Structure 1
Amino acid sequence: MTHPTTQSLARGFAVVDFETTGLVPERGDRAIEIGVTLLDPDGNIEHEDETLIHVSRDLGAQHVHHIRAAELKHAPEFDGIARQLRDYLAGRVFVAHNVAFDSRVLRSEYARLGYDIPVQGKTASANRRGAEASTTLCTMRLGGKLLGVRSLASCCARFGIGNPDAHSALSDAHATALLLREYMRMIPDWPGWAAHLDAAEQARWPRISENMARWMPRPSHASDGSNIMDSDIPLASRVTSETAPAPPPRLREGDRIVLTGAMSQRRADWIDDLAAVGVTVWPSVTKKVRLVVAADVDTESTKARKARAYNIPIVSERWLKTAVENGVDAA
């Protein structure tokens, strides 16, 4: 299917889901994956797309979104997808399950590039039209009103909608699009459908000047079956046995180590466990730190990037568990 362009903007709905590093974009959390499902005004799916998004920071709760840092090495930055995404969204109602969150993420990412986008709540014409005129629509709120449930899984279950890859952006967006279509069938005469479509169609989007980059889905989603993680293309900062400093054979009393990322064991518990064997968890990376322990050894967190600059080994949480179990050498 051809991509829409600024010359052929379509009236309809754009269902979007983001995977992010955290829940507060206003405090620096970033989008790391987006899924987009486009529907016509009657709820028929017209096009779908997805991409990972490269960010130079820790990726947050990886046990939820299952995105590894190494998978983002060749993904576009947000500025590389901003123009294509604008062409997908312009003229369409922005739909998400918890649209308050996803719209904040979207506005934050565009604001980083200096753009103010018209993805917003009620417009000035709302009262005159007798219906909520908005460029956004929330399937979670509709679920609460129409079904008495709010979670995506619970709403989808009412209609037998599957979501086999939950917490993958496109899978969640696709499920949300099917959910929206069911709501449209439940209340076909609701004036809000037309009010939202009119508001979105009239909204003025800025012209995006950034260059376009190729969208890159998760390796497991690649349509040709390829997996960039298994390719011969070198990753710019991938930690490999040839380029990374080797970890020490054992921990020793007095070592300073730094923790980075969301680990499976609580950080406070790690601090206590390591203190019990004479190892100190240090708050920042200095040249006196012996190693950095990361939830993801390919992370581009500030601590990990500084460790690489100082040639300090970066090891996994599993390595640390084994090292503690094997005992700590005396200083």
Structure 2
Amino acid sequence: MWPEEYPEGYAVVDVETTGLARDDRIVSAAVYRLDARGEVQDHWYSTVNPQRDPGPTWIHGLTSEDLVDAPLFTEIADELGARLDGRVLVAHNAIFDWSMIAREYARARRTPPVRQRLCTIALAKRLSLPLPNHKLESLAAHYGVSQRRAHHALDDARVLAEAFRPSLHLAAQQEVRLPLHACRPLAEWAEGPDGAGADAYGGGSGSRGSGVPGARSGGRYGRGPAASRPYGFAWRRSRKLPPCPYPNPGRYEPGGRLIQGMRVAISGDTSVDRELLEDRATEAGLHVSSQVSRLTSLLVTNDPGSLTSKVVKAQAYGTPVLDEAAFQQLLRCVAPAAER
């Protein structure tokens, strides 16, 4: 019997981007719409002109020449929105795809019509699928789905749609609660008087340069007001991180695993968007704190020699410190909380 609380429809999404930072842009997007039981209804794909250098072309295969006549995001926002409207957004590492989409809609001064997302990595973990790792190719291989063009948004979305359907049916058979998370749109896209803006964490650290990489004067990469200013604009999200449902197991033991419920604080600049890193930690079952206290399990910082208040307090309390790269490695395999 199909669980009554399961969603009525899904939008399986994949976006390819110019990079992973907060000022990066979407270069292509694909959506497979599925019904309540995971059957494909239709699909859609578009390249997107990012108005800047396309980034890692060796990954997504799209060059400046490929994208010069592609539509801007503002020109596909309605079409994309119509395919997302009223559906649960499904993606592999969904917080990333959702964050990129949310930023693009924020730049366009629009609100994406998405209320919930489902990460297929989280679903695979909940189903205890015997995967060697949590790459899309491993999930596809588990279900016998063939990849034709890895990192092409349309083919990645197809592969994920075909792999999601049996996972959805397995979850229904086992009466597993789906790992649904709220999609909170960016409440504001702030721009300073010089066009640089100041991010929500203070200062203009979101910008990676003073101009648009790869901007062109004659083509669409150079058109419009965005062509003459940096893309390090800022935003503030009207949200509170959800409460952690697990008790704090105490300090992180260097060399060991993170455990659900651990209290983590982050200090300084991060290579991955700060909110993305916080959401990954939250979805892994950690408690992300804005302050360091005696209860803090771990401080994450790329500059342990700095004199930020968090670093100073961590030193005073003897709180373990890790850099971002090591922290992200540990997030891949967080130990479950001990049963009460």
Query: Normalising by the residue count of structure 1, what TM-score does the alignment of the two structures yield?
Result: 0.51
> 1:1-331 to 2 correspondence within 5 Å?
11-24=8-21, 26=22, 28-117=23-112, 119=114, 135-145=116-126, 146-147=128-129, 148=131, 149-189=133-173, 190=175, 192-193=177-178, 301-302=214-215, 305=217
The aligned length equals: 188
Query: Normalising by the residue count of structure 2, what TM-score does the alignment of the two structures yield?
Result: 0.50
Q: Deviations over 1:292-313 (max 9, x none)?
A: xxxxxxx9713x659xx9xxxx
Identity rate, percent: 33
Q: Detail structure 1 runs of 4+ shifted over 6 Å in the superposition.
A: none
Larger Rg: 1
**Alignment partners' CA distance in 1, 2:111 and 2:75:** 17
The RMSD of aligned alpha carbons is 3.3
Q: Deviations over 1:42-87 (max 9, x none)?
A: 1100001101001221111110111111111221110111111111
2:274 corresponds to which residue?
Answer: none
Q: Deviations over 1:227-277 (max 9, x none)?
A: xxxxxxxxxxxxxxxxxxxxxxxxxxxxxxxxxxxxxxxxxxxxxxxxxxx
**CA displacement at 1:179 relative to structure 2:** 1.1
**Alignment partners' CA distance in 2, 1:116 and 1:284:** 28
After TM superposition, the structure 1 stretch with the greater mean CA deviation from structure 2, 162-171 or 177-186, is 177-186
**CA displacement at 1:159 relative to structure 2:** 1.1
After TM superposition, the structure 1 stretch with the greater mean CA deviation from structure 2, 65-74 or 165-174, is 65-74
**Alignment partners' CA distance in 2, 1:119 and 1:89:** 6
5+ residue gaps in structure 2? 1-6, 186-208, 223-340
5+ residue gaps in structure 1? 1-9, 121-134, 205-282, 286-298, 310-331
Letter of the 1:151 counterpart:
K
Q: Deviations over 1:170-213 (max 9, x none)?
A: 100011111110101222143535x959x89xx99xxxxxxxxx
Give the helix-richer structure, 1 or 2.
1
With CA pairs under 8 Å and 6+ residues apart, which has the higher RCO, 1 or 2? 1
